[in-house]
Amino acid sequence: MTRTSEAGETRTSHAAGAAAPNADTHKSVSQPVYPHTMRLQRFLARAGVASRRGSEDLMTAGRVTVNGQVATELGTKVDVDRDHIEVDGMPVKLNQGAVYLMLYKPTGYLTTMSDPQERPCVADLVPRDRFPGLFPVGRLDRDTTGLLLFTTDGDLSQDLLHPSKHVYKTYQALVDGHLTDRDLEPLRRGIELDDGLCQPAICRVITAREAEAVAPQGVKPGTTAVEVIIREGRKNQVKRMLSKIHHPVIRLHRCNFAGLELKDVAKGSWRELTDREVQILKAGGIPPKQAGAKRGAAPATNTASRTRHHGSHGSAPKRNTYRERYTG
């Protein structure tokens, strides 16, 4: 561990005594090349522990050690070849990469990594001991269930949540009252809320079989199940849209985010994303199949307000060997 200046950082592509410049270097092309020394928060971010800001928070909280010593100074530097870095007692290496998880959020959990009132939060359901820098991508309300992504990749999270990306999010809702397909037309045109005009939504009435997540015992008389697909992320947006047409939401469930479907994971449990799923996210997501079915689909561009936005191919999903520990 050192506190030398930035000018002291050097880059090397081979160890001492390596082949001469004229030697064949193709074998080492795939090897990562790092500065011998770098700031500790940069090291943690590049190792996939957390974003740069999140790594700083881990340091100031006293959760990071270098060679057995707690490192809280943000100016601390490490030698990537010699120093031993741990977060919460777990070793960290540069080549371990970022982490991407899918959680099936149950009802009753806040989307936060800590709560001063000690209420149940999603942090209780994901493996923070193994991946201390995990954070949720966006949020779901306490009473909303479904797909919630977690990662240590701050750049990807920002990209997915930025208003300019228009990532598709698919929700199923059980609403009060008898709602017809015609009643959804204001949502398809773009409904006005108190914080501005919404972008046109893709929506339809769905069957009881499709709506099992929000109506496990069937759609009872006096209620209706609907699917709503939006590309914004305003607070309580789907609930407010449906309330605006006089059909308040009873239950809400997110089944798709950026083209990733909630599958192969039990309620209250998590799994790591497949390589293909990570590629989809890094490509900015893909539209759900309903977007191409023209069920009231709107043009890709419109003048709706974008204010208050909050925010290995095809292999089988990697299973959670500690699933029972995180089942809500």
Catalytic residue set: 141
Cα distances (Å, whole numbers) of residue 280 to 49, 51, 269, 295: 21, 20, 22, 24
Distance CA 216, CA 223 (A): 13
User: Angle formed by the axes of helices 52-60 and 154-161, to 10°?
Assistant: 130
Cα distances (Å, whole numbers) of residue 141 to 19, 62, 286: 58, 31, 24
User: Angle formed by the axes of helices 154-161 and 275-282, to 10°?
Assistant: 60
Strand runs labelled E in 62-186 = 64-66, 69-70, 77-79, 85-87, 90-92, 100-105, 135-136, 144-151, 169-176
For 29, phi then psi, to 5°, come to: -60, -40
Helix, strand or coil, per DSSP, at residue 119: coil
Of the candidates 249, 259, 309, the one whose C-alpha atom is nearest the C-alpha of residue 282 is 259
